[in-house]
Structure 1
Amino acid sequence: MRILLLSFYFPPDVGPGAFRSGAWVEALKALAPEATIDVLTTQPNRYASLRQHAPRLEQLGNVRTVRLPLPAHRSGFVDQSKAFGAYAWQVRRHLRREPRYDLVCATSSRLMTAFLAALIARRQRTRLFLDIRDLFVDTIGDVLPARLSPLVPLFRAIERFTFRQADHLNLVSGGFADYVRRIRGARPLSVVTNGVDELFLNVSFASSRPRLDGRRRVLYAGNVGAGQGLHLILPALARRTLDTHEYRVIGDGGQIGLLREATAGLPNVRLMPPVSRETLIDEYREADVLFLHLNDLPAFEKVLPSKLFEYLATGKPVLAGVAGYASAFLSAQPGVRTFRPTSLEEAQSGLAALQEDSYARDHFIDEHRRSRQMRELARLSLQLLDPTVHGRIGDAGRCHRTRKR
């Protein structure tokens, strides 16, 4: 059995795409030890400000990972397009030397990795499993520069072809299901969400930091782009709470410049570049409140941010500016306050209400362990070749199959 997996990000790179693809491969290895698994990915490039290196060719057991070099790029649309073009060209060239695969898999947020996998599967006349982490076309109309808006119809055509080409399509958010059904019809569809990494299990997140000035630390860790819209809420919130809270932002992205400009002169805000996951755990430990925000755009009402799983696993209080599916998902979790995106009054009120140090979320952590979630994703993938494959452990890693309404 030969399996090809495409992912633009892969360990040791950081970010949700890398963490998810790495765990997916580990689950495929466990369920199909006889299979040959080829991973075609890139050299670590998630953040320009976080330099990492990895072997170009790596063979670990039955998994061969090929990391393709990319030109230097930042987070802008044009730079990202050039980087993906380089990746796609090298993938197509590499596959000319390879025998046909039995199964092509891909995990994709910006659609194009999934599109590349669909083209490969069609050319090889093989089965295709896609894991969709974001609705790129649904979002792009709100964040794409006006000069590039004529490209939207092209992306819609690419999306339609890609979604319909897949033999099975998985979504990381149940909020995506209705949108995808309108394109895909009643063909196989599932929801396997993001999860809690083993790194966050059996770790104490109790803070040892003395609060000499009495201010509580609010931490945001993740991408700083148009989708987060941090510059629309965090500077104003910091001004309102100068004497009671300090803010730390760890991350990078296309709008870090806007955030830096908007927070200039605020003594209670510190911006930091991306850090390793081990260092990030230390930052979580020393935080009093974990902060998340999505921009006030209709497309983001369908999103379930991967960062929420990390945040909830720490047991720390969480303040989240989210709406729609994510807000409903969080409603059952203790120690979480949500507010309407960009609403300063609601954000300040929610922050003031989060006074406890920690909350028990054991059931959530057990239900959403990434290893279990990815075991389910691997099972669904392999069932395209062998319907008898079983991968569940009790009720964990549950797969929510969506039904046509």
Structure 2
Amino acid sequence: IKDEQPAQEGKDSYATHRVKVPVPPIGTSFVHRGLAYRDASRKLRDAAQKETPDLLVAHDFEVLSAAVAAGRRGRRVPVIYDSHEDWPALIAENSALEARIAKVQERRLCRRVAHVITVSEPIAEKFRRMNKDTTVLYNARPESEIHLADRAASRRSFGYAIDDFVVGFAGALAGGRGLDILLGALPTLPASTKALIVGGPDEEAERLRALARAEGLQDRVRVDGYRAFRELAPYYASMDVGVILLDRRPNHERALPNKLFDYMAHGVAVIVPEYPAIAPIVMEGPCGWTVPDIRLEAVSAILREVQSSGEARARGKTGREAYVRRYAWDRQEERFLQIVRAVTEGHVV
């Protein structure tokens, strides 16, 4: 955890105690990683105990053992496990051995957890099979963080014509996000179809720019580097459709990326894979479309369908309404506080 502490301001500010606990990355010595995690857990456990808490919230698997250990020492303190991923499945992408250990550890530690909060029904079902009280809460931003930009002005600022169809992506640029496939699909689509990509790290943004130049797409592809969320409103306002093209792997099928709700909050229709966690939310409105698999032919076909349908603006509006009505943290917060009150008072949620 970073040891720099940002200034706390305003009536809702609270003290933050940050503990620096560096851990070697996956791919380095398994023994060194295990020892580093043990040391990190002990430091976090001791730091948590010094605060004499009434409740401990373990923000994902990496700190669950520290929270459980802190909750068992001295005065018993209830623990909420806030699991944003299927962690054993995520770890398995890099280390099968560590994934097996994580699966056993997660099940063992959950015996000491009072309640599990997670982001999707597929992940929730895993914990319910452990007989754990589990609630799905969506990690959408509060409405106060969403600032809608003017569509026409935003598109003009990026140089888009009225009849351009802008396919957008805002988020971390990394392998498995389908962006190479998106660029590969562009030559199969009308010249008015453009790609607007914003995110970091810088080296990945430059790689995508180079790929666009190599394919002769530099006039149809704009790749901007990392921007703070507060700077993204013009990007969202310029999009006709946003894409989430995660490749097929167990954690991608079960987890629910926050960027889905960012698109919805800004009134942008979405294209997502037919995965069990994300597809039902998109098709409920519908606030977008699903693609059966993340291959060039399938992505090209769905983009042609979306562009020819003329429904992108309407589905984006439906997504925005669903965000305000159900998914914004302003709606989710009430349920979270109910869980906190019940757990701290020793009641079943």
TM-score by length of 2: 0.79
* Aligned partner (choices 219, 225, 231) of residue 279 of structure 1: 231
Correspondence 1:374 to 2:333: yes
Correspondence 1:358 to 2:303: no
Aligned ranges for residues 39-118 of structure 1 at < 5 Å?
A: 42=2, 54-55=6-7, 63-69=14-20, 85=37, 88=41, 90-92=43-45, 94-95=47-48, 98=50, 100-108=52-60, 111-118=61-68
Structure 1 residues 166 and 95, CA, compared in 2 at 3 Å: closer, same or farther?
closer
Q: Map Cα deviations across residues 27-52 of structure 1 (whole Å, 9 max, x no partner).
A: xxxxxxxxxxxxxx6458xxxxxxxx
CA RMSD, aligned part only? 3.6
CA distance in 1 between counterparts of 2:303 and 2:247 reads: 18
The Cα of 1:373 is off from its aligned counterpart by 0.5
1:120 maps to a residue whose letter is A
Structure 1 residues 260 and 62, CA, compared in 2 at 3 Å: closer, same or farther?
closer
CA distance in 1 between counterparts of 2:210 and 2:27 reads: 21
Q: Which residue of 2 aligns with 1:35?
A: none
Q: Which residue of 2 aligns with 1:191?
A: 136
The Cα of 1:284 is off from its aligned counterpart by 0.8
Q: Map Cα deviations across residues 273-326 of structure 1 (whole Å, 9 max, x no partner).
A: 221122111211122221111111244222222211111122222222342231
1:114 maps to a residue whose letter is L
* Aligned partner (choices 101, 126, 133) of residue 77 of structure 2: 126
CA distance in 2 between counterparts of 1:54 and 1:173 reads: 31
* Aligned partner (choices 158, 166, 187) of residue 113 of structure 2: 166
1:358 maps to a residue whose letter is R
Q: Which runs of 5+ in 1 are unaligned?
A: 1-40, 45-52, 390-400
Structure 1 residues 379 and 94, CA, compared in 2 at 3 Å: closer, same or farther?
same
Structure 1 residues 241 and 88, CA, compared in 2 at 3 Å: closer, same or farther?
farther
Q: Map Cα deviations across residues 167-207 of structure 1 (whole Å, 9 max, x no partner).
A: 1111111121222233x2x2311111222421355735533
Q: Map Cα deviations across residues 64-106 of structure 1 (whole Å, 9 max, x no partner).
A: 2123457699x87659x79x9586465345346x253221112
Counting matched residue pairs gives 328
Structure 1 residues 194 and 216, CA, compared in 2 at 3 Å: closer, same or farther?
same
User: Is the 2:119–2:137 Cα contact (8 Å) retained in structure 1?
Assistant: yes
Correspondence 1:307 to 2:259: yes
* Aligned partner (choices 128, 152, 169) of residue 207 of structure 1: 152
Q: Map Cα deviations across residues 331-389 of structure 1 (whole Å, 9 max, x no partner).
A: 12235111023132332232222434623322442112212212311220221122689
Correspondence 1:152 to 2:99: yes
The Cα of 1:121 is off from its aligned counterpart by 1.7
Q: Which has the higher helix share?
A: 2
1:113 partner SS: helix
Q: Which residue of 2 aligns with 1:221?
A: 170
Aligned ranges for residues 340-359 of structure 1 at < 5 Å?
A: 340-352=292-304, 353-354=306-307, 355-356=310-311, 358-359=313-314
User: Is the 1:105–1:128 Cα contact (8 Å) retained in structure 2?
Assistant: yes
Correspondence 1:241 to 2:227: no
Q: Which residue of 2 aligns with 1:49?
A: none
1:197 maps to a residue whose letter is P
CA distance in 2 between counterparts of 1:180 and 1:254 reads: 38
CA distance in 2 between counterparts of 1:303 and 1:133 reads: 7
2:248 partner SS: coil
Structure 1 residues 78 and 310, CA, compared in 2 at 3 Å: closer, same or farther?
farther
Aligned ranges for residues 229-268 of structure 1 at < 5 Å?
A: 229-231=178-180, 233-241=181-189, 243-252=191-200, 256=204, 262-263=211-212, 265=214, 266-267=217-218, 268=220
Q: Map Cα deviations across residues 213-247 of structure 1 (whole Å, 9 max, x no partner).
A: 8432221111233453433x223123333712222
CA distance in 2 between counterparts of 1:198 and 1:173 reads: 21
1:219 maps to a residue whose letter is G
Q: Which has the higher strand share?
A: 1
CA distance in 2 between counterparts of 1:253 and 1:115 reads: 31
TM-score by length of 1: 0.69
The Cα of 1:133 is off from its aligned counterpart by 0.8
User: Is the 1:43–1:54 Cα contact (8 Å) retained in structure 2?
Assistant: no
1:365 maps to a residue whose letter is V
Structure 1 residues 313 and 279, CA, compared in 2 at 3 Å: closer, same or farther?
same
User: Is the 2:185–2:299 Cα contact (8 Å) retained in structure 1?
Assistant: yes
User: Is the 1:215–1:244 Cα contact (8 Å) retained in structure 2?
Assistant: yes
Q: Which runs of 5+ in 2 are unaligned?
A: none
